[in-house]
């Protein structure tokens, strides 16, 4: 293709499914990689000489190099120059990412400081009661109430709502995001486009989780959602972490000193695949791992708790 700008754009489109409408050589661009207003996870830079460029997606962890010239046909000097430009663009991208993470960390800290411990009868405890956890007390300390959290959708503020807020914690102990469940004053799900949302991340989310509990005697469990993890804990007495998504269950990093891992999988394809991946990682690391899956298709452990099934996890009591 004679137009290198268009060739670069098409390469981005083929790899990410999205690309910026306009690309200016020599400039670092941000653009959405999903159909949501305000998303800017994509990034790219076409070098000023338009012979090469870099692009990727912060959210997916993708980073690729593009060249207008077949690399096998490059001269030694051309390869050296491309490598130099890639290194410079990488440093620029990483500096921008650190700046974004720092700003997100400030917002997370401010929001978390506005949250308060749960008390009986508040919107969060009423919500959890509606989910079948009435009488379960004390609830994990990491679950907090925000009395009026702003809800933004596609750049528009739709209002402020009570919310159940929980920190997503990286393996090194840093709070890298907040999980928010928007509610009404009487503990129902708020009438908003997406009830459960994460804040912008203040660092990599891979390996992170919501630490509802800490390991006990070398044992820890993990489930997907907060309510699913609570159900697994109530049913089994195993301390449980919430991975908040199937993808993060598969990449979750268990704490040091864990000897037994119980994976409370959702009974759907994503849940089973995530559990199998985590189990394989644990076994390879010398950790005994057991996968527990509800018998009903599509069920999770919150469903099992609601039906008051009884679960015994051998060797964890």
pLDDT (tens digit per residue) in 173-222: 999 999 999 999 999 999 999 999 999 899 888 899 999 999 999 999 99
**Measured distance CA(283)–CA(297) in Å, rounded:** 26
pLDDT of 1 over the 90 cut: no
Kindly state the helix (H) or strand (E) to which residue 221 belongs, with its residue range: strand 219-223
Query: What per-residue confidence (pLDDT) applies to 40?
Result: 82
Query: What per-residue confidence (pLDDT) applies to 316?
Result: 44
**Measured distance CA(169)–CA(241) in Å, rounded:** 10
Which residues, 6 or more positions from 230, have their beta carbon under 8 angstroms from its beta carbon? 128, 133, 136, 139, 140, 212, 240, 302, 305
- Kindly indicate the confidence band of residue 235, based on its pLDDT and cuts at 50, 70 and 90: very high
> What's the whole-number mean pLDDT along residues 249-266?
96
Q: Are strands 144-153 and 116-117 parallel, antiparallel or unpaired?
A: antiparallel
Query: What per-residue confidence (pLDDT) applies to 315?
Result: 46
Dihedral sign, Cα of residue 230, residue 232, residue 237, residue 241: negative
Which residues, 6 or more positions from 70, have their beta carbon under 8 angstroms from its beta carbon? none
pLDDT of 223 over the 90 cut: yes
Residues 158, 229, 309, CA angle at the centre, nearest 5°? 120
> What's the whole-number mean pLDDT along residues 282-296?
96
For the chain, the first-to-last Cα distance in angstroms comes to 65
Query: What per-residue confidence (pLDDT) applies to 311?
Result: 53
pLDDT of 154 over the 90 cut: no
What predicted TM-score, i.e. pTM, was given to this entire model?
0.80
């Amino acid at each position: 293709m004679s137009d290198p700008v268009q060739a670069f754009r098409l390469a981005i489109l083929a790899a990410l499914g999205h690309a910026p409408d306009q690309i200016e050589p020599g400039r670092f661009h941000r653009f959405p990689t999903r159909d949501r207003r305000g998303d800017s996870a994509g990034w790219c830079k076409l070098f000023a000489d338009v012979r090469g460029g870099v692009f990727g997606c912060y959210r997916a962890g993708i980073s690729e190099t593009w060249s207008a010239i077949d690399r096998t046909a490059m001269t030694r000097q051309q390869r050296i120059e491309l490598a130099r430009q890639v290194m410079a663009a990488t440093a620029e991208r990483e500096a921008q990412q650190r700046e974004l993470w720092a700003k997100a960390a400030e917002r997370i800290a401010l929001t978390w400081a506005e949250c308060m411990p749960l008390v009986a009868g508040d919107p969060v405890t009423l919500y959890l009661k509606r989910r079948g956890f009435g009488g379960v007390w004390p609830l994990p300390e990491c679950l907090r109430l925000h009395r009026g959290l702003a809800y933004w959708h596609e750049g528009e503020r739709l209002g402020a709502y009570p919310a159940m807020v929980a920190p997503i914690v990286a393996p090194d102990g840093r709070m890298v995001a907040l999980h928010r469940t928007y509610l009404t004053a009487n503990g129902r799900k708020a009438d908003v486009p997406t009830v459960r949302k994460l804040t912008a991340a203040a660092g990599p989310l891979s390996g992170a989780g919501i630490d509802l509990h800490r390991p006990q005697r070398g044992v820890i469990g993990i489930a997907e959602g907060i309510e699913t993890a609570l159900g697994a804990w109530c049913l089994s007495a195993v301390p449980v972490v919430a991975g908040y998504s199937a993808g993060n269950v598969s990449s979750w990093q268990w704490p040091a000193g864990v000897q037994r891992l119980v994976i409370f999988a959702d009974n759907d394809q994503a849940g089973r695949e995530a559990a199998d991946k985590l189990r394989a990682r644990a076994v390879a690391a010398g950790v005994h791992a057991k996968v527990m899956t509800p018998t009903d298709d599509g069920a999770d452990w919150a469903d099992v708790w609601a039906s008051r099934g009884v679960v015994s996890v051998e060797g964890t009591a």
